[in-house]
């Protein structure tokens, strides 16, 4: 019953690793999905990601502790800006 209900509402399921950051990862994908066909919103999100790195650095965080994750997220947003297709996020 649950499977039929969910499969009628959604075309795919994204597995999110339960590594302690699963909520943030899921929230980020949800935000990307909602902004996918809105280039200005995606660009704004990308700009905020980049700005957050500057804020973290100025607050004393070591850039090496977040730069890999930040760069990965920027690349994902750039891919979304280039494709604007739902299956882009499913391939990630």
Q: What is the pLDDT of residue 85?
A: 75
Domain housing 38 = 2-90
Alpha-carbon distance of 28 to 89, in angstroms, equals 11
Between 44 and 84, whose confidence is greater?
44
As for how many domains the chain has, the answer is 1
Taking the whole predicted model, whether its pTM rises above 0.85 is answered as: no
First to last CA, the chain: 29
Q: What is the pLDDT of residues 54-74, one digit of tens each?
A: 999 999 999 999 999 999 999
Using 50, 70 and 90 to split pLDDT, how confident is the model at 49? very high
Alpha-carbon distance of 88 to 92, in angstroms, equals 7
Between 53 and 9, whose confidence is greater?
53
Alpha-carbon distance of 32 to 9, in angstroms, equals 19
CATH number, domain of 19, equals 1.20.1300.20
Q: What is the pLDDT of residue 25?
A: 86
């Amino acid at each position: 019953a649950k499977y039929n209900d969910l499969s009628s509402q959604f075309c795919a399921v994204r597995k999110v690793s339960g590594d302690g950051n699963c909520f943030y990862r899921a929230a980020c994908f949800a935000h990307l999905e909602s902004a996918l066909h809105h280039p200005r919103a995606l660009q704004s999100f990308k700009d905020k990601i980049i700005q957050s790195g500057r804020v973290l650095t100025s607050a004393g965080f070591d850039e090496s502790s977040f730069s890999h994750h930040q760069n990965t997220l920027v690349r994902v947003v750039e891919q979304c800006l280039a494709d604007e297709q739902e299956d882009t996020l499913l391939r990630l």
